[in-house]
Structure 1
Amino acid sequence: MELRGIEYLRRKLEFCRPRVNLRYKHYAMQNNDNPIGITIPINVRAQYKSTLGWTAKGVDSLADRLVFRKFENDDFEVTEIFEQNNPDIFFDSAILAALIGSCSFIYISKGDQGEVRLQVIESSNATGVIDPITGLLSEGYAVLARDDYGQPTLEAYFESSATHFFPKGEEPYSVNNPADIPLLVPVIHRPDAVRPFGRSRITRAGMYYQKYAKRTLERADITAEFYSWPQKYIIGLDPDAEPLEKWKATVSSLLTISASDTGEKPSIGQFTTASMTPFTEQLRTAAAGFAGEMGLTLDDLGFVSDNPSSVEAIKASHENLRLAGRKAQRSLGAGFLNVAYVAACLRDEFHYERSQFVKTTVKWEPLFEADANMMTMIGDGALKLNQALPGYINAETVRDLTGIAGDMSAVPVTNEGEPDGT
């Protein structure tokens, strides 16, 4: 395959970078939308900027459930590589970046002592040309460092044979790559034939519903000012009467207004205050739309129901979230397996065949933790299955269902209560 070159990848990154940064701003609750409306002046609306964390909730609700456990059938001992790279932070950081920006990139390099180092780079600072069959890059580009103004100070261009570095204001240099694979590996969330670099968890519909809710809160805040201090009026006041101070007329508990010389008394009234109920209904409508888009419930967004839900009810209401988690485990697991493959090639300085890693699989913790009721149901089901097929459910299977690491040497029992195989 003919290489496109670093200039092509620079333009590609600049084209995609604004969309990724927009989603990071939504996640960080730092996005400022242009004021929209025909009744409230812009200068008034600007004083009541609202902030919502629904986007962060939608991402974290899935990211916190994706917990990497181990590599199974680890014939190439890649687990040691990840254990040397702070796995508790590495996996969480790579997963979160992939959910926000549709993918994250792992920069693989060797340290001074020969150890393999793994660095997570968000998709706003890296890109490449992907092989749709293997999910690896044929060439890659990453910005490894930026200055305070966002300008690149250290760039890297990844080829199969070498990695080329371009420090700002200095001579470029290259480092040979014995792995014969570009040392920039994508970890992609929900890829498909149209979007090989995946899709973000923060969808356009989700951003719209959050903007809609923010505008509702801003209108509610402005209306609350009139709700707190209702407007009053006086009819029939003598033109020669001393004018009232607005602030005094607002906060005073007793106002004295004398009758005119002819004995006419002014009438005092108050305008009807606006109701806050429509804003509450609008906010709930926006929350329902956002929850449906993210696979959440209204309880997750702060609209607490009167009756607390059981664990089974929570799992049933989060069925869409569970399906999204299963899909994310499959796509992200393939990316982590590619990282392990390239890291093993770099560590051993030998280009292994990708087919040699087909037996190595990624294991995840269950998306929902088991409670006492669920463990009882799993125990009854495992007992009945083992009675029909002795040894069918073992300790590893139970851990996959419950997430509890018990005695892995436990032996299934038969119908008579005797260990299987006796």
Structure 2
Amino acid sequence: MDLWFENALLPTGWAGRVTVRIAEGRISQVLPGTDPAPGAERHRVAIPGLGNVHSHGFQRGMAGLSERRGRRDDDFWSWREIMYRFLDRLTPEDIAAITALAYAEMLETGYTRVGEFHYLHNDVNGARYADPAETAGAIVHAAGETGIGLTLLPVFYAHSDFGGQPPKPGQRRFLSDVDGFAKLVEASRAKLPADAVLGVAPHSLRAVTPEALAVVSALTAGPLHIHAAEQTREVEACLAWSGARPVEWLLDNLDIGRRWTLIHATHLTEAETDRLAASGAVAGLCPVTEANLGDGIFPAERYLAAGGTIATGTDSNIQIDAAYELRAIEYSQRLSLRRRAILSPEGASVGETLFHAALAGGGQALGVETGIAPGASADIVSLNMDHPGFAGASAGTLLDRWIFAGRAGAIDCVWRAGALQVVRGKHRASEGIANHYHKTLGRLLG
């Protein structure tokens, strides 16, 4: 199959009149400066699909349910109690229906692969399903229904707080022991399609002892993800437990490198920021969720200046939009530092800088090659050049226009592994997926 674009963003930069040849879901050739071959699909502008490195698919069903002030000091911890009450209602079928809507929306906004930080393993009573990977199967079903690429990250969760504290009743659907988790990982592996990636995710230093962390991190050769330093209360509790801050403890006690993604890493000292940047690990930033929960602002200016690697995630999926996540990273810095155009070198495009950083970091965090290049999965997004946001745009301003001014409708088509999943801005199965979602939420919340 051949796709032809007037302009395409390649690893070497923008190129004109580009033929992209696709075989068995992967890019076999990229030929700039060519005329379209007979039968080639013709489009205007192509960019690579992005990786969404942190998603809790089922939380898409909670969007808008926690925006009522319950107490003067509402924060992440009070939001978590609402989340516990919501998830207690979910069957594996409900998880699949809600997650499918989230994944369709990800594709519509330019995400072509998702890292599912999957911790909802047990039934409503806290017992393992007969199939330990029952709910992982629901995630795989949602990915198959939508066509999104999947990096599955089964979560190990055993304790309520630092030092191996006993779990709380609201956490019963998450819990595993080390042996049971190993069985869950292998059962999950058996359900994955050929191009999926399997990693593991020790939930956080709150939920995992150092001894268990060493064991579960060795269960796959794939990516390793962990929540770290999302809230100040977490940092204070970690100091009380160990004498070190969460990211400091991880860097001191583990071989933190390119396999690792530290989700959030919001609250860092300057020394932690520089050490994390030098480690080669990814900082998985979820600025929309971090803003919604009042978590704080990641020190992105210093981190990127030190050579750090970032990627974006939609986390609670309260509003799914790849451009919005990138924009929120930059805007949070502007609000904090009261300057403009912060996260790019002098004279460079902020949009292009953020896009390239998130593209590379997302591929690293999710265990795949990215970009419009031979050997990579054919994960390609075409921009809708009839959208008013692109009026008069040149190649040098396209990504700034999309990220900072595009709004809805800026994306035309999305191919995932060479299959066309989004046409004229809508997922090919959006109507059926949305109908199923409406029925599911109506029953759960009615």
Structure ranking higher on relative contact order (CA contacts 8 Å, 6+ apart): 2
TM value normalised by structure 2: 0.25
Q: Please tell me whether Structure 1 or Structure 2 has the larger radius of gyration of its CA atoms.
A: 1
